[in-house]
Amino acid sequence: MPRRGEPLRKLGFLTIGRFDADDPGPGIEETLQTIERAEALGFDTVWLRDRHLQPGISSPVAIMAAASQRTRRIELGTAVIPLGLENPFRLAEDLATVDILSGGRINPGVSVGTPMLYEHYKTALYPESADMQDFSKDRVLRLLRYLRGEPVSDFAGTVGIEQFTDRIQPHSPGLAERVWYGGGLASAIWAGEQGVNYLTSSVVSIEGTESRDFATIQGEQIDAFRSAHPHPEKARVSQGLVVIPTDSATDNEIRRYRDYAASRFERTKTPQGPRGMLFSPDYVGPSDELADQLFAHAGFQRADEIAFALPFTFGAEDYVQIIDDMAEKLGPALGWTPAQ
């Protein structure tokens, strides 16, 4: 556990990979260069958000495939792929292919549920079966079975000169053990019971708790995950908050960063919506102050790995400053040592 004086196992960050919809190439290239920079700085992981019908990463598997050929060590994750827009059979093929290309560095994070704004494009996605789709956790279980190499066909053999197997090809051993799932208390327990890894973020649900403190709730959910996991000592937990170190930032950057955090603070005061979604405040400041705040954070205290979320709307120069300070200042203040 990353308590003061103890080593932090892994440090990474999460990016949306934004681009100009009229000219996406430069933005996509910027994302790949950011991943290369992260590896050079010693980060352990980079995580990709998955956004559909938006100018951001809509195909994280394709980005990971490209990044796998431009890096050699850093782990590449998704946070998260919404399985409601995916066919688990085809996704398993793609993930396994990229995992092999990367040398076993892929961490697929997934989610379920009805896709956002589904009513507006469901017939484009599922023309014949939009209203019959099952968006339950069964989609995760199917993906896990396929990644583990369980049969998907009742035929294996030769047809003419072509050889067929009864499981997904290629098969990448160990990939199923690197699947991640996120969500509230019930999801944390379910993820633990399934033996998958657990992603936390800057939003929690108050369902199942009397607390209204974000850090306390996040800590409770991580504890519930570990209690339900058959091998809690091996279970991986990643925490993802918006944390912006300002050590090398200019006065203008610091002002913009603080204005950004202030503009989002109102939503952290009370739970939002029918499920009581509670948002974490953003953390902005010098690394020594941020380290003090994180060491006192109940969620951080229980996580094994950290993936700080880069703000969606910042520019390329801002990201360079932030990830450089994460690697050179904040990470070491949290007990992290850059990978060689």
Q: Output the pLDDT for position 340.
A: 83
Per-domain residue ranges of the chain = 10-333
Residue with tokens 């509230």: 184
How far apart are alpha carbons 219 and 221 in whole angstroms? 5
DSSP E strands in the chain: the ranges are 10-15, 45-48, 75-82, 106-111, 157-159, 162-164, 180-182, 197-199, 203-205, 237-239, 243-245, 277-279, 283-285, 305-309
DSSP annotation of 74 reads -
Q: Output the pLDDT for position 4.
A: 80
Question: CA 192 → CA 20, 76, 145, 239, distances in Å?
Answer: 39, 22, 16, 16
**192 SS3 class:** helix
Q: Output the pLDDT for position 5.
A: 75
How far apart are alpha carbons 12 and 238 in whole angstroms? 9
Question: CA 311 → CA 129, 317, 319, distances in Å?
Answer: 36, 13, 9
Q: Output the pLDDT for position 88.
A: 98
* pLDDT tens, per residue, the chain with 340 residues: 567 878 899 999 999 999 999 999 999 999 999 999 999 999 999 999 999 999 999 999 999 999 999 999 999 999 999 999 999 999 999 999 999 999 999 999 999 999 999 999 999 999 999 999 999 999 999 999 999 999 999 999 999 999 999 999 999 999 999 999 998 999 999 999 999 999 999 999 999 999 999 999 999 999 999 999 999 988 999 999 999 999 999 999 999 999 999 999 999 999 999 889 999 999 999 999 999 999 999 999 999 899 999 999 999 999 999 999 999 999 999 999 999 8
How far apart are alpha carbons 226 and 6 in whole angstroms? 20
Q: Which CATH number does 10-333 carry?
A: 3.20.20.30
Backbone angles phi, psi at 75, to 5 degrees: -80, 145
Q: Output the pLDDT for position 2.
A: 62
